[in-house]
Structures are given as structure tokens and as C-alpha cells.
Chain A
């Protein structure tokens, strides 16, 4: 319960996420920092990015991101640097490496399957279905043949 309250405290603490003193003077660099921050998870929070989080760790990460940017890192380099330190848990947008590929292609593959099944079904509905329900079974057909022969 204590851990829970602590977590809720982090969520709700009415201090700012990004505080005035964190903001970089260069607006272009600051804009990049904001975009990067939205892709990084606040590690101690529940499903919050560091841009929105009020936790101290998130503030540290925001400062870290800005430091790297000021030193001239590209966006990708900054993210790699943070992932190197904290692991892929920090990424809100998972990579496409290894089994994660499944996550990314699950939707498109499912859409193809569903589309295919749907197409076959719809094509099947073009013909009168009564033929199927009222159609003859193989035994009946055999009997019919016999009868017709007679």
C-alpha cells in the first residue's frame, strides 16, 4: 500500500513536469528535447513519459537529455545513450528488433488474414445459399441417380 501511495504521489504531485529552469535557451534545441522526452518513459511511474512526469528521476532524465543535446548529439544518439544506461524499458515506442517485430506486424498481419477471410466469405455470399442448405447430400444424389436410371 505504501508503494502504491508513493506511486500515486508521483503521479499527482502538483509540481511541474518541465520546470522553467530546465528549459533550454535555444528554442529549436528545446523543441527537440520535448519530442525526445515524449518517447522516454519515467522509470518509476506508471505509463508516463518523462515530459509529463513530476518524479525526480524524470527531471534528472530531462536534464540529461538536454545536456546531451547541448553537447551536439543527434536525437538518435541521445535515445541510444539513455537506453544504454536504463535498458529498453525506458522506450515507450518499442524497438522492432527480435520478437518485438511480432508486436509491430501483429496488426497488419491480422488485417491481411481478416481481409482474406472476409473476401472469401463475401465472394461465397454472391451465390444463392439456399442451394447449400437445400442441396442434396452425396447419398441423396446417389439415390437420385438410381431413381433417374430407372
Chain B
């Protein structure tokens, strides 16, 4: 019964969304306040209805209601509660329901926090947001209904894909979707602004927090996915340039570009039409990502929904929204005349360069991702584009970006002077290069990866600190420290996020350049040496889990004869899903991870054992978390709260004046 109510609520939400899409839009163009006012209650009602619908599906999973087809196929009585819940979105239909839930959540938030927006802009934003919802409600109800029943309920379900039964991956999709869908707000604002024919500093100030939030969630979601791959797939890889990873990485790059260009709109009223285009493209790439993952058009580890009908539907959504948005953009963008003037050497120029590098980097990832498809369809060549291509084609952009970052971050607005900006930075640059040279001398081998990675990371980190310190002005140490504490959230966010980026980059360079591995057959009681550690295989035994059987080894790690830790690498077999997984035994450390994997029993009674030493592995994800904190600090900036009220008064005063 509850399941049917959930289905019903979803249909109702779709109807509400249709109303929310049409009525406020007409109201905004005719200036009918009553029609415009429909948007807010509709957005909130829509959110409540989808929440109920999502709750109903969750209820079916939690109570293991095997009369529901989706529960049968993706759950099991014996699964831990966490995975029963994450099973709701661990499949195609449920994840699309999560998608519309988040879409409605953002719409509801815009309605709730949007009281200080111009009435017409608010009505249009909510209407555009609802139009995206309508498309996805249609997609769910017509091609991917999660509420279908089965005629004869089985006694037990077929289990969730065991790869997904993991805490990291349980939370990976919600964060990723919060990011993907968060960009829909930037899109809705861009379309609404084009309809209004007006982009001003207030618009930039409104778009930025949404973009920031979306980028922040994407950062965490991508970080979680990469962390999961690291410990779950059994060899400690953290990024594969898999099409599905690229699908989330392209919106991340564009969101990063967007949140930088929105600053220029907000502070200088320049780069308006480019920012609008970026907002459209960022969400466009979210849709492309959804298309790539959901259609399975490019086969990858993640594409667990191979269904051409769904692919065509999403492709149509993509075509309608991108086609419509870009046509509107072509017609209206020329009206967005920039106001701010700036010199060749200025913060504006630096941010334009940032945008060029990020956008072209995203373009490279895009071309590489779809190239196999293009080559096969147009040229009849069946080929692969894998990690070696992306490493070679993408990395230079990140090197260029980080090389100019500290300078650009400190250049003044409007007109700058390179000599003056570089003055406090020379020391940092010299130190960073000296450090890189030291790394080059100390390491074995001539790989430039680690020295360059170290130099850039040190340069960006020190640059961020110097920037922050320079913001405290003149005076003695105590007054500078006092001012440091009261610096705006945006300054702290900037320094923190840039430092996080540096830490992630250094982690990637260090891990890639310095990891070492040992593969051997060990007998019980054997002790072997690898990279300064001694490892002893003590015991291997079979242990039953809640819904799997584990072969768990007990391995002790020694350093200089002293026991460092005892690790328990496992291999698991999930009998219901008929699938094995590996669980590496990892000793996490600040400088390195010790990463042990147990393999098959050999004919002579030994066990195949893999030992990795992974230097600076945790820096990769620590950097992601720090970048996330940077986003949070920036979101707490006063100006998003204080200035919002001021704008409301101004908007009220300007009411009745037609759009520019």
C-alpha cells in the first residue's frame, strides 16, 4: 500500500512540476504577481511529494518487501541495514528517483531562500528548475518506474551488487548527485537571466553560492569514489580515466571555472555572457554524464544499466535542454554588455586564463571520452582511449594552472603590476624550486613527476599563505593576527581550497612516482622484507560474514624488528550474487600506506601475497576534504547574507522598471 502511495505521490509531483513550469513563466512575462507567486508553494509541495515517494521506496527496501521488483533485484534479507538503505540508490531506477529528489530539494531551497530575489527572476528560476524536473519525472515514470510489483514475490532478494556494499560507495552517489543536480541551479539562473535579459552583480552573487555548493559536493563525491576504488579494487589505483569518472570530472572542472568567473561578474560586471555559457555547459555536462552512465553507451565498470531506450530518452532531454538553452543564448547573449574595464595585467585576466585552462582541460577529457564512439561510428575504427592518453593530454593543463595560480590570486583587480605582485612571492618560488631540486637529487631515478609535483604544490601552498597574510595589512604582529581572524570567509575559503588542491596534486605525484610493490608466494609463518618493512603471514582462515564468506589473512608488519600493525586483508565471496570481492588490508599513515592483498592458495600450500607501499596516498583525499572546507568557508562569507537584504530594498525601489 505504501509503495502504491509512493508511486501516486511521484505522479502528483510530476503534475505539480508541470504547473510550476508553466504558470510562473507566463506570470513573469505578463507581470501577473498572482501567477508568479505560484512558483514557491509549488516548489515546496513538489519537494514534499518526491520526499514521500522516496521515503516509500526506502520503506520497501528497509522492510525487505520482495513484492517490489526493484527490491528483489537489489536487496537481500541478510544485508546490513546500511546497504539496505543505500540499495535504494544502488540501482538505475532508485538513483533516478534520488536525482529528482535532489532536483526538487534544490528547487525548494531556492523557493525558501529566494525571498530577496526579484519576483520575475525568482518565478523564472523556479519554472526552469521545474522544467528539468518534468523531463526526469517523465523519464522515471515512462522508462524506469521503481515501484513495479512482481506477481509472485520470492522468499529472498538477489542481493545488491557486492561491489556497492561498501561504506564509501554507499555515500558516493548522493554526494555526486548533489553536485550534478546542484549545477541545475546555475543553469536555471542562467536561463532565467537570459529570459530577463539582465545580468548584474546581484545575479553573480546569487549564482555563486549554488555553484560553490555543487562544486563542493562534486569534490566530495569524486573523492569518495576514488577512495573506494583505492581500497576496494585490490591494487590501489585511485583514478582510471574511466568514462564514468570522466563524466563526473568534466562538470567538476566546469563548475570550478564557473565559480571563478562568477566572481568577475559579481565584483566587476564583466565576463557576463561567458559566465552564462559556462553555467549552461556545466549542467549540460552533468546531463552528458548522466547519459554516459545511464545508457551504457560507453561500456565501463560502472554502467550497470544497459538499456538503449533509456539512453535515447536521456539523449532527448539533453538535446531539448542544451539545444533550447544555446539557442536562447545565441539570441540574447549579445545584450549582456560588460561594464568593467581592466588592463592586460589584472585579476580579471588571471581569472580568464584560469577559465580557459579549466574549460579546455574539460574539453580534452570530453574528446578523449567520446573519441572511441566517434571513431567507431564515423571511421569504422575500433580503438581505445585510456589512461596513458589522458595523463599525457590533461596533465599539462594542471601544471600550467598551478604554475600561474599564486600570481593570479594576488594580482589586484582592474590594473596590476607583475613586479609588485611578484615581490612577496619570489621567496616562495625560490623555495619551491629548491625543494623540487632537492627531491630530484634525493630520489632514485630521473622521473620529473615528483619534483614538478612537489615544486608546484609547495608554490601554491606558500602562495596561498602569503596571500592570506598580505590581506592582514600593515601593523604589528598582534594586530595582523587579529585581522587575520576577522578576514572574510571568502579569503579563507580561497586560501584553503587552493591549499587543498596543492595537497591533492602532491599526493597524486608522490604516490605515482614512489609507490613500490612486491608480489610473491608466502607460506604460513613466512617473513619477508619489502622497502624497509618486514611482513609476516601469520594465519589465513575462513570467516562467515552476514551475507558473504570471507577468506581472511592475518599479517603482521614490522619495522626495525618492532611490530607496526597487524592487517587483515580479505577476499569475500557473496554466494547470492555469485561474486567475489577483495578487501585490502591497509595501514593508513601520514607518510605512506601499507597496502596488503591476499590472493589464491597455491598448490604447494602457500598463498599469493601482494605488498604495496604507497607514499602520500592519503594526501589525495585529505586534499579533497580541505578543498571542500574551502568551499564551506567561502559559503559562510557575510556578503551572501548581508548584501542580499540590501538588494531586496533596491529591487523594491526599482520595481516596475522594465528589464534592461
Chain A interface residues toward B at CB < 8 A? 4-5, 7-9, 11-20, 23, 38-39, 41, 46-49, 52, 87-94, 98-100, 103-104, 106-107, 110-111, 114-115, 118, 121-123, 125-130, 132-133
Verify if B300 is at the interface (C-beta below 8 Å from A). yes
Taking a contact as CB atoms under 8 Å apart, the answer to whether A122 and B344 are in contact is yes
Verify if B487 is at the interface (C-beta below 8 Å from A). no
Enumerate chain B residues within 8 angstroms of A123, measured Cβ to Cβ. 344
Contact of B237 among A52, A87, A107 (CB under 8 A): A52
Verify if B375 is at the interface (C-beta below 8 Å from A). yes
Taking a contact as CB atoms under 8 Å apart, the answer to whether B349 and A122 are in contact is yes
Interface code B379-409, partner A: CB below 8 Å = 1, 0 otherwise? 1011111111100110001000000000000
Verify if B270 is at the interface (C-beta below 8 Å from A). yes
Interface residue tally on B, bucketed by range: 35 or more
Complex: A89 Cα to B299 Cα, angstroms: 14
Taking a contact as CB atoms under 8 Å apart, the answer to whether A106 and B363 are in contact is yes
19 A-B residue pairs with CB within 8 Å: A8-B579, A9-B580, A12-B163, A15-B599, A16-B599, A16-B610, A39-B388, A41-B384, A88-B381, A91-B384, A94-B385, A94-B389, A98-B379, A103-B368, A106-B363, A106-B367, A125-B340, A126-B342, A128-B341
Name the residue in A39, A93, A127 with the highest tally of chain B Cβ atoms < 10 Å from its Cβ: A93
Enumerate chain A residues within 8 angstroms of B519, measured Cβ to Cβ. 16, 18-20, 23
Contact of A133 among B337, B352, B392 (CB under 8 A): B337
Taking a contact as CB atoms under 8 Å apart, the answer to whether A129 and B337 are in contact is yes
Contact of B352 among A52, A87, A121 (CB under 8 A): A121
Enumerate chain A residues within 8 angstroms of B348, measured Cβ to Cβ. 122, 125
Interface code B549-584, partner A: CB below 8 Å = 1, 0 otherwise? 000000000000000000000011000011111100
Taking a contact as CB atoms under 8 Å apart, the answer to whether A107 and B341 are in contact is no
Complex: A146 Cα to B438 Cα, angstroms: 75
Enumerate chain B residues within 8 angstroms of A5, measured Cβ to Cβ. 577-579
Taking a contact as CB atoms under 8 Å apart, the answer to whether A89 and B384 are in contact is yes
Taking a contact as CB atoms under 8 Å apart, the answer to whether A16 and B367 are in contact is no
Verify if B78 is at the interface (C-beta below 8 Å from A). no
Taking a contact as CB atoms under 8 Å apart, the answer to whether A122 and B163 are in contact is no
- Chain B, 389-448, CB within 8 A of any chain A CB: 389, 392-393, 397
Cβ of B406 to closest chain A Cβ, rounded Å: 20
Contact of B367 among A23, A92, A103, A127 (CB under 8 A): A103
Contact of B383 among A47, A52, A94, A106 (CB under 8 A): A94
In the complex with contacts A41-B386, A89-B382, A126-B343 CB distance below 8 A = yes
Knowing that A47-B386, A104-B393 are A-B contacts, what are 4 other residue pairs whose CB atoms are under 8 Å apart, sorted by A's residue number? A46-B301, A49-B386, A94-B389, A98-B379
- Chain B, 333-381, CB within 8 A of any chain A CB: 337-344, 348-349, 352-353, 356-357, 359-361, 363-364, 367-368, 371, 375, 378-379, 381
Taking a contact as CB atoms under 8 Å apart, the answer to whether A93 and B386 are in contact is yes
Which A residue sits closest to B584, measured CB to CB?
Answer: A14
Cβ of B388 to closest chain A Cβ, rounded Å: 4
Which B residue sits closest to A47, measured CB to CB?
Answer: B242
Verify if B631 is at the interface (C-beta below 8 Å from A). no
Taking a contact as CB atoms under 8 Å apart, the answer to whether A20 and B520 are in contact is yes
Verify if B304 is at the interface (C-beta below 8 Å from A). yes
Cβ of B600 to closest chain A Cβ, rounded Å: 5
Taking a contact as CB atoms under 8 Å apart, the answer to whether A4 and B352 are in contact is no
In the complex with contacts A16-B600, A94-B385, A107-B367 CB distance below 8 A = yes
Taking a contact as CB atoms under 8 Å apart, the answer to whether A94 and B384 are in contact is yes
Chain B interface residues toward A at CB < 8 A? 161-163, 233-235, 237, 240-243, 270, 299-301, 303-304, 306, 337-344, 348-349, 352-353, 356-357, 359-361, 363-364, 367-368, 371, 375, 378-379, 381-389, 392-393, 397, 519-521, 571-572, 577-582, 597, 599-600, 608, 610
In the complex with contacts A14-B571, A47-B301, A118-B353, A91-B383 CB distance below 8 A = yes
Enumerate chain A residues within 8 angstroms of B364, measured Cβ to Cβ. 106-107, 110
Taking a contact as CB atoms under 8 Å apart, the answer to whether B582 and A14 are in contact is yes
Contact of A103 among B343, B356, B385 (CB under 8 A): B385
How many pairs, one residue from A and one from B, have CB atoms within 8 Å of each other in the complex? 166
Q: List the 8 shortest-distance A-B pairs measured between CB atoms, nearest first.
A: A92-B386, A93-B388, A14-B571, A107-B364, A14-B582, A114-B356, A106-B367, A16-B599
Which B residue sits closest to A99, measured CB to CB?
Answer: B379
Taking a contact as CB atoms under 8 Å apart, the answer to whether B579 and A107 are in contact is no
In the complex with contacts A118-B352, A122-B352, A19-B300 CB distance below 8 A = no
Taking a contact as CB atoms under 8 Å apart, the answer to whether B521 and A20 are in contact is yes
In the complex with contacts A12-B163, A14-B582, A110-B387 CB distance below 8 A = no
Complex: A71 Cα to B368 Cα, angstroms: 35
Complex: A121 Cα to B342 Cα, angstroms: 11
Enumerate chain A residues within 8 angstroms of B599, measured Cβ to Cβ. 14-16, 19
Taking a contact as CB atoms under 8 Å apart, the answer to whether A129 and B384 are in contact is no
Complex: A89 Cα to B610 Cα, angstroms: 30
Cβ of A113 to closest chain B Cβ, rounded Å: 9
Contact of B356 among A89, A115, A125 (CB under 8 A): A115
Name the residue in A9, A39, A47, A98 with the highest tally of chain B Cβ atoms < 10 Å from its Cβ: A47
Enumerate chain A residues within 8 angstroms of B356, measured Cβ to Cβ. 111, 114-115, 118
Complex: A27 Cα to B643 Cα, angstroms: 65
Taking a contact as CB atoms under 8 Å apart, the answer to whether A107 and B384 are in contact is no
Taking a contact as CB atoms under 8 Å apart, the answer to whether B387 and A132 are in contact is no
Which B residue sits closest to A16, measured CB to CB?
Answer: B599
Cβ of A29 to closest chain B Cβ, rounded Å: 15
Taking a contact as CB atoms under 8 Å apart, the answer to whether B243 and A47 are in contact is yes
In the complex with contacts A122-B349, A128-B341, A133-B337, A46-B386 CB distance below 8 A = no
Taking a contact as CB atoms under 8 Å apart, the answer to whether A110 and B392 are in contact is no
Which A residue sits closest to B573, measured CB to CB?
Answer: A14
Enumerate chain A residues within 8 angstroms of B572, measured Cβ to Cβ. 14
Enumerate chain A residues within 8 angstroms of B337, measured Cβ to Cβ. 129, 132-133
Which A residue sits closest to B600, measured CB to CB?
Answer: A15
Complex: A8 Cα to B304 Cα, angstroms: 9
Cβ of A147 to closest chain B Cβ, rounded Å: 27
Taking a contact as CB atoms under 8 Å apart, the answer to whether A127 and B368 are in contact is no
Taking a contact as CB atoms under 8 Å apart, the answer to whether B384 and A92 are in contact is yes
Taking a contact as CB atoms under 8 Å apart, the answer to whether A49 and B387 are in contact is yes
In the complex with contacts A14-B571, A15-B599, A15-B600, A38-B388 CB distance below 8 A = yes
Complex: A41 Cα to B388 Cα, angstroms: 11
Which B residue sits closest to A92, measured CB to CB?
Answer: B386
Complex: A48 Cα to B578 Cα, angstroms: 22
Contact of B387 among A88, A92, A115, A129 (CB under 8 A): A92
Enumerate chain B residues within 8 angstroms of A126, measured Cβ to Cβ. 341-344
Complex: A16 Cα to B610 Cα, angstroms: 8
Cβ of A42 to closest chain B Cβ, rounded Å: 10
In the complex with contacts A8-B579, A12-B579, A110-B363, A100-B392 CB distance below 8 A = no
Complex: A97 Cα to B347 Cα, angstroms: 41
Which B residue sits closest to A125, measured CB to CB?
Answer: B342
